[in-house]
Amino acid sequence: MQLADPKVVVAIQARTGSTRLPGKVLRPLGGRPVLEWMVRAAASVRGVDGVVVATSTAHGDDQVEDLARSLGVDVVRGSEDDVLSRFLQVAETTGADALVRLTADCPLVDPLLVEQVVAAWRTDPSLDYVATTLVRTLPRGLDVELASVEALRVADVEARDHHRVHVTSYLYAGDRQFRTLGLVVQPAANDLRVTLDTAEDARVIEAVVERLGDRPPRWFEVVDLLRSDPDLVAANAGVQQKALTDG
């Protein structure tokens, strides 16, 4: 069914219970918390109808809620481990037809990439999933995903185990075939890393912010900077990304 005026909401997935870098979403970065970088970027995206921080009911995430509300965005709290159910709470609370999934360990996200993903889905709302990650050509940490709420409800019925942790993975790596669209950039830069999982990652991201300034950067500015500084790239090149099944 074609939606007359589909509602798109950005859901920022955030919690303090990271195993490798606890409290990373509250970590200071260029004079403001990492989560504030995410909220600021999301709030500047054109073509979306709201921003919500999706955190857990764990006591440690009270700080996430407090910070998010101080920044003027709504908060939904749900299961710490069943993150898919948390996103469906966002959908029910907001009445969204599609959710943009951003994770709060990606403080350098480019708002214009988010706009491009949203625009692609608005052009064809029959798509179940639009993302920059189906074929990864951007640095890890600049990821943007959009899922239709209808598809997420199907996943909620059928998905098990790690698919419930990773929210969208059932839409591209599960048993069912969904209609998906991937956005790619050239030249590819998927060998680079600006996601915040470890202390080494933090040093790289802090260096990028110091050089590019206190603003959401464009993706190609991040790539150009890293390409110009092999020593900076080497600082977190050895960090291993968790496998999908690790949760």
- Domain map of the chain by residue range? 8-246
pLDDT in tens, 52-68: 999 999 999 999 999 99
The predicted-structure confidence for 166-190, as pLDDT tens digits, reads as follows 999 999 998 889 999 999 999 999 9
Q: Measuring CA to CA, which residue among 209, 203, 201 is closest to residue 31?
A: 209
Q: From residue 38, how far is each of 20, 102, 178, 206, 222 by CA, in Å?
A: 20, 8, 28, 15, 16
Contact between 126 and 169 under an 8 Å Cβ cutoff? The reply is: no
Q: How far apart are CA 52 and CA 30, in angstroms?
A: 23
Report the share of the chain in percent with pLDDT over 90.
90
In the three-class reduction of DSSP (H, G, I as helix; E, B as strand; rest coil), residue 177 is classed as: coil
Looking up tokens 């996103």 gives 87
Q: Yes or no: is domain 8-246 CATH 3.20.20.60?
A: no
Q: So what's the pLDDT on residue 175?
A: 85
Taking only the tens place, the pLDDT of each residue in 199-217 is: 999 999 999 999 999 999 9
- Residue 188, sorted as left (phi over 0), alpha (psi -120 to 50) or beta, turns out to be beta
Mean pLDDT of 108-130: 98
Confidence class for position 246, pLDDT limits 50, 70, 90: very low
CB 101 within 8 A of CB 9: no
Distance of CA 219 to the CA centre of its chain: 14
| Predicted pLDDT of residue 19 | 79
Q: Is the pLDDT of residue 33 over 80?
A: yes
Q: CA separation (Å) from 198 to 103, 148, 203?
A: 15, 31, 9
Would you say residue 247 has pLDDT above 50?
no
Spatial CB neighbours of 125, under 8 Å, sequence gap ≥ 6: 2, 3, 6, 97, 98, 148
Strands (E) located in the chain? 8-13, 28-29, 32-33, 51-56, 74-78, 98-103, 129-131, 145-148, 180-182
Distance of CA 114 to the CA centre of its chain: 10
Q: Is the pTM of this model over 0.75?
A: yes
